[in-house]
Each structure stands twice: as C-alpha cells, then as structure tokens.
Chain A
Amino acid sequence: MKTVRLLILLSLIAVIGALAIAPAAAQDDMSEFVFAHSGPIRPMDPHSHWYGSTHWMLNLYYDCLIWRAADGNGYVPQAAQSWEAIDDTTWRFHLREGATFHNGEPLDAAAVKWNIDRVRHPVGDIPLYQQWDFVQEVVVVDELTVDILTPQPHAFVEWDVSYNGCELIPPAYFEEVGQEEFNRNPVGSGPYKLVELSENDRYVFEAWDDYHSGRPEVDRVVYQVIPEPSAQVAALLAGQIDMMIGVPVPDRERLEATDGISLVNESSNIMHHYYARVDTDSGAFPETFPEYEPATLDINVRKAITHAFDRHLLAEVHGAAEPRLARVCAHYPEGYADKYADPDIIADWYNPELAKEYLAAAGYAEGEGPTLYLDTPVVGRGGGAKEVAEVAAAMLEDVGFTVDLTVRDASAFAVEVQRSGNNRDLMLATLGCSYAGVTRYYQCDWSAVAYNICNEEWDAVADAIQVTIDTDERLALWEQWWEFYIDYSQTITLFEVTNVMALNTADFAYAPRKDGWMTFRDVQVADM
C-alpha cells in the first residue's frame, strides 16, 4: 500500500534527518562548567532590565567599574584599577591602561561616561535609572580617569556603581547596531566571551585570553536553562551539569550520598516578609475595596501580628531559611543586621501573650480579634510560600485573629494583588535584601503600590543615612532607623531564604558568594 509505505518512509527520513541536523555537542579537552539556570534569562543588554538572575550571568561577560567582594566585605577592582573619594561629592575612578571591549573598542573614560549616562537617564526602556539618580554628572578627566559627581554626599556610591546596570558595553558598537542587534550579537568587556547564544536556552562563554586581569581558570562556562528542578537533579546525577541551586528537599539526601556531588548552603539573598496595609490610598485598593477598612491600619494590630509569629518555626516549615526581624540579610557589614538576626532576640520576639495585649489595646476582646485577609502565591521567590502562609495563619488564629487566606498562582498573585496594590491586610513580599536601598522604600517621596508611608522623623533619619559618609556615625543612624522600622511594623519580616546548592566537587571548586549571585568568574578546576 503506497500511502502507508510513503508515510513510514517519510517518518524514517524525518528521524534520520533530525539526528543528522541536530548540532553535535562540543567535544574537546577544555574544562567546561555547566550551571543549570531555571530561567527565564533576559536580554544581553544589561541596562535594559533589573532581573538579578540574568545579571548573575552578565557579570561573566561585562566588567563594571568595581565589584562587590564575594564575602560581602568591601569591593574589588574590575575596569577601574583603583578609586578614591576626592571629596564628599566626587569619586574618582582610575581605569586600566590598554583595557578594551571584546571587539577591541577602547574601554576608556569616555566609554564609562557614555554607559553611566545611558543607564541613569529615564529614556525608553531603561528601567534602572532610579538606582543611579545619585549621580549628578560624570566627568572625563583624562582618557583613563573618570569622576562621578553627586549632588550631595552619598554614602553608597561604591554599592550603587557595582549593582545592576553597572555593566560596561561598547558605545560605538552599540550605537552602530542598535539594541535589537546588540541583544543578538552582544559585545562585552569581562573575562569571558560569548561563543553561543540560544535565547533563554543556552549561553556558552569561553575564557578571554586578553582579559586585563588574566585568563580565567575554567575554559568554558555554560548557563543552561533547565526549568524543571527534577530535570536539573537528573542532569546533575547524569554528569551533564555541574551545579544547580534550590535543590528540592526530597532530592537532598540522594545528591549528598552521590560520590563527587556536595551540597552547599548559603544565603540566597531573598527574604520573605508580610506587608501590612497601612493606608487606603495606594495602588488599586481604593477602587477595588472602596468600603473596606483593613484592621492593620491600627498599629496595635500590626504589633500583635509581628509578635504572633514564631519565626523559627516558620523558617523550619519553609525548609531552608533562617529567621530574621529586619529587612536586611545577616551577612551585610552594615545596616545593623546582626542584631536582628540574633536567634535569641528572634525567639523572644515571639510572644503570643504580648500579641493578645496589643489586640486588647486595639479594642478587641480576647479571642475576638479582627479578620485578616492574607494573600500569598503558591510559591514565592525562594519557595515554600503556601505552606508558610498556612502555618502563619494558624499562629495568627492562635492569638485571636480570624484569617482569610487566599493562595494564587505566582503570576496571578503578581497581577491581581501585589503589583496592582490590591493587598488588603497582609500579603507576602519576597524581596532582595540590599541595605543601601532599603531606607528609600519607606520615605515620604516613595510612592509604592502596596503601601504609602510618611513619618517625617523616620524620613529625616533615612536622609541622614544616605548622606553620612562616616561609617560609625552611619551605623548609629541605622540603629535609629531600624527602631522605626520594627515599631511601625508595616513590613513584618519572617526569614532569610537559604539557597541549597548541589555542586560537582569532583571536577570543580567553587565557594558561593555571600550575596547569592550565581556568577562564576572564580570557579576553579578541582585538584585531582
């Protein structure tokens, strides 16, 4: 029967064709470190997005002026060999002689100025300008010297110039080809060159021989997008990737027991908080719930909530977290973080009797607390949101609240609640924990969709922190600032998420960074 034979013949041709057409994997003697990225990965234009997990990768490919040290203490040089504060409002950066981008274009003061000017201006699709508004002007002093001028003293210049958007791209090439073509064929300045780009799928980087600080030890670093954690585990066990993060709880024991694979724990730099509604004006709330008056408008109710949570237990329920009281990760050398990460202080903070007293002070009889609407996604950044919310709801009910818990899919939660400002009493906020920016989010001129806070005294402390260059003086101000934060109880911090990573230690040596960034300039071939 001709048709059937034809169909089968075509089918066989298709299989053979498929096998023949698919590209062959590179087989050579180069050392290759493959990291499983859950995706999505955003474009190669580093100034056009704020997504941390893409900037991890971009850090291999682009130099910044300076970069945050892996242990969280201080900064290390990249494109700038050295830097100094000339006065309270002028920071001078000395660039490396002869440094170029991968295409040979000079990485000089003019290129640095072009980059910073691009990222700090709110033009088109460049959403990072707010981080860079501390810059008043960038001045080219000479070919290898550039000054960053700030309108007033700014305590966090080094932090800000080494964060998202700091990556240096070649101006002449970018202007010649435009953003779209740049995203297809980017040109970088870092220790690795890009040799293969399959959008949001696979990015292969090879060590650049001409990098100013020497060729990196590992020849090739690959970011391979594998969305499914179970597929990542299988690929690691099969020896096809070398590292994954966020190892699922059921797989940890098996991976730990596998020769050549080790589990490593380090902060993910993600924190889970509950935002309490403190106003009825921000976001879409007034239109969506015109008649609703959240119980959390009363500060005593918010204080009752914060004392109702046993954070140690919530962290245990999450499965990989450390309890915290303040919106700053424990390892940061600034921000008074250590005090609010102290396990004893946090254990004492859990005080159901005190919570009941606050409820009584708010006018509620014992056991007759108000109803709290609690919104959460099923899985927040760092996982475990639903389970934590269920236990948190039980803790709140234990002190007298009635909790109406709504769990949504992550993108529905983002659209319907979080970013539209439809949060009622409580909602989950999973945030990074940068100390430099945190004060700004609670200032009178910051109009967030989920809350609106204006306390002039607190505001003044925040302003003072931003302009105080002396570290000791600034730490004293931080102490005051956190007292306001804790007392106001709008952001009720629960815990800092720990990242459980699995690494092929048979072939590679890698010490995770304290800031949770999965970037691999420092990965090394293991000693045999």
Chain B
Amino acid sequence: MRGFIISRMVQLVVTMFIVSVVVFFILRLSGDPILVLAPDFFSEEQIEQMRKFWGFDRPLGEQYITFVRKAITGDFGKSYLAKRPAMELIIERLGYSWLLAAASAAIGLTVAIPLGILSALKRNSLLDLIITAMSSLGTAMPNFWLGLMLIIIFSVHLRLLPAFGALEPKAIILPSVTLGVGMAARLSRMTRSAMLEVLNQDYVRTARSKGLMQKTVIMRHALRNALIPIITVFGLQLGWLLGGSVVVESVFSWPGLGRLMIDSISVRDNTVVQAGLLFYALSFILINYAIDVIYIILDPRIKFQ
C-alpha cells in the first residue's frame, strides 16, 4: 500500500510538471493576451506599457520559472479580467461544478445501471431494442440541443423550472438532466456489454445451478464482476464533469468552472486558464487513483503495485 501511494505521488508530480510546461507554452504560443485586453484605440506605447505591467515583456523562460515558483505556493497569478487571484476565482466556481457533477452522475448511475442490466438480461427482446435505441439516441444527441429543448419545454411552456443560473435548488434539475442523459446513455451501453460478457461465464452458470435466486446471481456474482469497465467509464465521465461542462454551463448560465474557462479563453485570461487546466489535470489524476482503489475493492485479485 505504501509503495502504491509513493509511486502514485511521484507519477502525480511528474504528470503535473509535464502538464504545466505544455499548458504554459501552448498558451503563450496562442498569442499575446495583451492584444486582446487592450482596447481598439490604444496606441503602441500604451500596449507596451500594459505588457510591462503584466510581465509579458520578460523572457519566456523567466516567466515560466516565476509561474512555477508561485504555483507551488498556490499563487497562480492575478486574473487579467477580474483582477483577483486566479485560484480564488476557480475555488468560487468549483462548488457549482461539483454540485452539477454530483447531480448528473447520480442521474447517470441510477438510470444507466438498472437499464443496462435489464437490457442484458432481456437480450434481443423488444425491451432490449428500446433501451439500446434510447442509449444510442442519448449518446448521439448534442447536449446543447437537449439543454435548449428542455428549457423550451420546462421553462418557457410549462414554466416549471428556471431557464438559467443557480438561484434556487430546482435550478440544478435541467442542467443535471442534460448532462445525466448523455452519461446514462454511455454507461448503460457499457453496463449491457459488460453484463453480457459475465452472464456467459462458468461461475454465473454455477451460481444458477446451485439454485441461487436470480437477484442474487445478478447482483452478487454477475454485476460485481462487470463493474470494472463500468467504473472505468464512470471515472472518465466524472473527471470530465468535475472540470465543469463547458457547453451545458454556458447554455444554462450555470456559474461553474466550465463557464469561467470559456470566458477566460475568449479574452486570453491566461492566468485563469493555466490554473483551470492544471486543476482539470489534477482532478483526472486523482479520480484515476480513486478508480484504482475501487478496482482493488471490487476485485481482490488486483493487488497494489
């Protein structure tokens, strides 16, 4: 266990270092942020003055070293847009993104797993066909389109739910359903195929021949063994959701990290983009580690390595 933790910590540091280099230099290659920040009527002299104020007149290597030195202490610099610390802005938005991620994941899981199991058990039946068709539809539907449709139905026509923002508890319903539908569609397909694979295994046949109830066979013997690929896909989806869903947050004006990133990218607010991307990377890595731990719980044959 100790070896596992140490090796993962080393991996984390190395990955974050590589991500920081890539993010920093790619953002610099994407253009001079001062040219977006400066108004149309600024003279060359004023633009140069702004560049100096924000430190862009210094050599790139020096800028990177300063960035890393400060980032280690949690200082990712000041947002050019908000003129407040970038990490403070990210933390403000994080809660909203996590709420949305949790609600969407909940919808995704509660819908996907029962449907996936049902679909596998009733293989090639009409029910299977319907579930498979619905999951294909859910996967294919662009979430911005689904979001707008839900707004039109539930906000404009029925006036049941808010069309935007996070002003009241029920405001989370439409964005989380929008995200949850896509997640449920992908997870139910994965659940179906994983279940089909294990249902044909000898140990399932043995369990049945022992006279165990169908529910016990499914839940205790089949699903447990099918969970590993499901958890893998779920982990990837969750990592993506925790970083904020850019499109859905924009459609619903949900004040999460995804919208912050879009706003920051559009005005080349590099300090926030850098901090946000590093945060995304960290989220993915930590979720992957959590998934590794869940693997071991699910399947004791997998050992810490």
Contacts and interface: CB of A to CB of B under 8 A. Distances in A.
A431 interface: yes
A199 B156 contact: no
Given A183-B84, A202-B255, A419-B38, A19 B164 contact: no
Contacts of A238: 151, 155-156, 159, 162-163
B19 interface: no
Contacts of A226: 164, 253
Given A11-B109, A226-B164, A429-B40, A4 B255 contact: no
Given A228-B250, A238-B155, A130 B46 contact: yes
Interface in A1-52: 1, 3-4, 7-8, 10-12, 14-15, 17-25, 39-40, 42-43, 45, 48, 50
Contacts of B106: 10-12, 14-15
A201 interface: yes
A74 to B, nearest CB: 25
Interface in A432-450: 437, 441, 446-449
Nearest to A180: B84
B121 to A, nearest CB: 15
B35 A415 contact: yes
Interface of B: 30-32, 35-36, 38-47, 49-50, 53, 78, 81-85, 89, 92, 99-100, 102-103, 105-107, 109-110, 113, 148, 151-152, 155-156, 159, 162-172, 176, 219-220, 223-224, 227, 250-253, 255, 259-260, 262-263, 266-268, 294, 297-298
Contacts of A430: 40
Q: Which of A199, A283, A431 has the most CB atoms of chain B within a 10 A radius of its CB?
A: A199
Contacts of B49: 122
Given A231-B148, A415-B35, A447-B43, A40 B227 contact: no
Contact of B166 (A3, A14, A22, A441): A22
B298 A19 contact: no
A45 B103 contact: no
A1 B35 contact: no
Among B81, B100, B107, find the residue whose CB has the most chain A CB atoms closer than 10 A.
B81
A446 B103 CA distance: 55
Contacts of B298: 3
A221 to B, nearest CB: 16
A297 to B, nearest CB: 20
B163 A235 contact: yes
Contact of A15 (B82, B107, B297): B107
Contact of A419 (B47, B166, B227, B253): B47
Contacts of B255: 198, 201-202
B169 A24 contact: yes
B253 A199 contact: no
B39 A1 contact: no
A4 B113 contact: yes
Give chain B's interface secondary structure class.
helix
Contacts of A410: 266
Contacts of A125: 53, 83
Contact of B159 (A50, A183, A239): A239
Contacts of B251: 228, 231
A224 interface: yes
B208 to A, nearest CB: 16
A415 B83 contact: no
Contacts of B30: 415
A59 interface: no
A24 B166 CA distance: 9
Contacts of B165: 201-202, 224
A342 interface: no
Contacts of A446: 43
A231 B42 CA distance: 34
19 contacts: A1-B219, A1-B223, A17-B99, A18-B103, A19-B172, A22-B172, A25-B168, A42-B82, A198-B92, A199-B82, A199-B84, A202-B165, A224-B165, A228-B250, A235-B155, A240-B162, A410-B266, A411-B268, A415-B31
Contacts of B107: 11, 15
A468 interface: no
Contacts of B152: 234
A198 B255 CA distance: 8
Contact of B113 (A8, A39, A200, A431): A8
Interface string A405-436: 00000111011101111000000011100000
A127 interface: yes
A448 B40 CA distance: 9
B47 A4 contact: no
A7 B32 contact: no
B253 A227 contact: yes
B77 to A, nearest CB: 12
Nearest to A24: B168
A235 B164 contact: yes
Interface of A: 1, 3-4, 7-8, 10-12, 14-15, 17-25, 39-40, 42-43, 45, 48, 50, 122, 124-125, 127, 130, 179-180, 183-184, 198-202, 224-228, 230-231, 234-235, 237-240, 282-283, 410-412, 414-416, 418-421, 429-431, 437, 441, 446-449
Contacts of A230: 148
Nearest to B220: A1
A14 B36 contact: no
A18 B156 contact: no
A20 B43 contact: no
Contacts of A11: 102, 105-107, 109-110
A311 B32 CA distance: 34
Given A50-B39, A179-B83, A411-B268, A7 B167 contact: no
Contacts of A414: 35-36
Nearest to A1: B219
A98 B61 CA distance: 55
Given A22-B166, A40-B266, 12 more contacts: A11-B106, A11-B107, A15-B102, A18-B100, A19-B172, A22-B167, A40-B81, A180-B84, A226-B253, A230-B148, A416-B31, A447-B44
Contacts of B83: 43, 45, 48, 125, 179-180, 183
Contacts of A20: 169
Contacts of B169: 18-20, 22, 24
A183 B84 CA distance: 8
- The 4 A-B residue pairs with the shortest CB-CB distance, nearest first, are A11-B106, A14-B102, A415-B31, A419-B35
A24 B36 CA distance: 37
A40 B260 CA distance: 10
A447 B45 contact: yes
A21 B223 contact: no
Contacts of A4: 113, 219, 223, 227
B116 to A, nearest CB: 11
B253 A200 contact: no
B99 A18 contact: yes
Given A24-B168, A226-B253, A419 B99 contact: no
Contacts of A234: 148, 151-152, 155-156, 163
A284 to B, nearest CB: 10
Nearest to A23: B167
Contact of A124 (B38, B53, B176): B53
Contacts of B155: 234-235, 238, 240
B297 A8 contact: no
